């Protein structure tokens, strides 16, 4: 990232006032956290970014909107933060609507935004960024939010840091697909012995590969390449037939999960959008470079997923069939997924 002083960033923001902060950051070559920091002392206050400090407060607020995104997908879910489970490596919010997997070491810079300029009343948000200044997670009030508790939360978490600049690390180069073809047989054998999907990343790490690299060398039936348009087709088909799914969107510091139906799809330019009452997804379908149909053995049977990656090998999203105690949609999901367009060859 280029280094710019806060005054130069503010001038650029004025010039590009119609853009969202993330787009402004990209346009002027700084981090989104740097854009946020320039307003400290005006609409922004610095707050503690620790999930252990923040989440117990958010759990008391009532209905809010949780937002987690990466470069190609934005996941927005309205609901309550219900059960907070702390962990040093991974923490969780487990609720009927807000469902998060949090990696605390990436929660580095916290800001609380409040503007009185909106005719509908003050606009508020909580914004968390990682060491690279990229957005990890954001929270916005909704009609059911207790705003008095929100303001007390911000006061409780506010820090003494009033600097209008932020120090971030340079973004690492994209990892791409890490493959070791000579380990293909060992990978397949270990894959067959899996009993839980959470074992997968540890498994591929043991072979010094990553998710996409393992998919590329494992072959059928473990991972089968789909045409990139298969992801959009999958969204359309589950919306049409009512199959309930789990839809994961994540980044370094947070994974956000929607469980249930998707109903209203509306494409606008390169964005495919789910526009349901309490769940929105905004997906850059033009940035899907690879799609895969993946199966992993578990104690409860085979877990089948449709997964999308961008041109630099970054995971965009994952779709699974929802399995509940009294409603199992995995078979309907598998039927849909098996009929998706297949990519015959992979470069």
pLDDT tens readout for residues 109-154: 999 999 876 555 568 999 999 999 999 999 999 999 999 999 999 9
Query: d(Cα 25, Cα 16) in Å, to the nearest integer?
Result: 10
Torsion of CA 94, 95, 97, 103, to 10 degrees: -20
pLDDT tens readout for residues 197-218: 999 999 999 999 999 999 999 9
pLDDT tens readout for residues 261-310: 999 999 999 999 999 999 999 999 999 999 999 999 999 889 999 999 99
The secondary structure of residue 174, as a DSSP letter, is P
Query: d(Cα 316, Cα 24) in Å, to the nearest integer?
Result: 22
Instruction: Specify the pTM.
Output: 0.94
Residue 118's pLDDT is 57
Query: d(Cα 213, Cα 217) in Å, to the nearest integer?
Result: 7
Q: What is the mean pLDDT of residues 49-74?
A: 98
Residue with tokens 């049409």: 240
Residues 6 or more apart whose CB falls under 8 angstroms from that of 211 comprise 200, 201, 204, 315
Query: d(Cα 58, Cα 66) in Å, to the nearest integer?
Result: 10
Query: d(Cα 296, Cα 215) in Å, to the nearest integer?
Result: 11
Crossing angle of the two packed helices 230-241 and 330-338, in degrees rounded to 10: 140
Mean pLDDT estimate for the chain: 94
DSSP bridge pairs for 298: 301
Q: How far is CA 196 from the centre of its chain?
A: 22
245-250: strand order across its sheet = 83-85, 91-94, 99-102, 254-260, 245-250, 315-321, 301-309, 290-298, 223-226
């Amino acid at each position: 990232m280029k280094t710019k002083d806060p005054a130069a960033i503010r001038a650029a923001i004025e010039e590009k006032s119609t853009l969202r902060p993330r787009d402004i950051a990209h346009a002027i070559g700084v981090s989104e956290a740097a854009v946020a920091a320039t307003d400290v002392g005006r609409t922004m206050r610095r707050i503690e970014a620790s999930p252990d400090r923040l989440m117990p407060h958010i759990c008391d607020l009532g209905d809010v909107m949780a937002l987690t995104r990466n470069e190609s997908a934005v996941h927005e879910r309205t609901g309550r933060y219900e059960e907070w489970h702390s962990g040093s490596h991974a923490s969780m919010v487990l609720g009927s609507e807000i469902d998060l997997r949090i990696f605390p070491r990436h929660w580095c810079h916290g800001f609380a935004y409040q503007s009185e300029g909106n005719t509908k009343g003050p606009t508020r948000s909580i914004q968390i960024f990682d060491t690279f200044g990229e957005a990890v997670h954001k929270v916005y009030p909704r009609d059911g939010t207790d705003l008095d508790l929100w303001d007390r939360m911000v006061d409780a978490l506010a820090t003494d840091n009033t600097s209008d600049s932020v120090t971030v690390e340079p973004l690492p180069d994209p990892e791409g697909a890490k493959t070791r073809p000579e380990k293909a047989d060992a990978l397949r054998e270990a894959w067959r012995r899996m009993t839980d999907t959470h074992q997968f990343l540890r498994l591929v790490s043991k072979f010094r590969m990553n998710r996409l690299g393992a998919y590329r060398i494992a072959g059928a039936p473990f991972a089968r390449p789909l045409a990139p348009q298969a992801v959009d087709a999958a969204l359309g088909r589950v919306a049409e037939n009512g199959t309930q799914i789990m839809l994961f969107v994540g980044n370094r510091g947070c994974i956000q999960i929607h469980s249930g139906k998707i109903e209203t799809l509306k494409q606008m330019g390169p964005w495919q959008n789910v526009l349901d009452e309490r769940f929105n997804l905004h997906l850059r379908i033009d940035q899907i470079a690879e799609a895969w149909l993946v199966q992993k053995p578990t104690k409860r049977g085979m877990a089948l997923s449709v997964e999308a990656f961008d041109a630099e090998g970054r995971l965009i999203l994952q779709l699974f069939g929802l399995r509940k105690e009294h409603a199992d949609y995995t078979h309907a999901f598998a039927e849909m997924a098996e009929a998706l367009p297949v990519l015959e060859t992979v470069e």
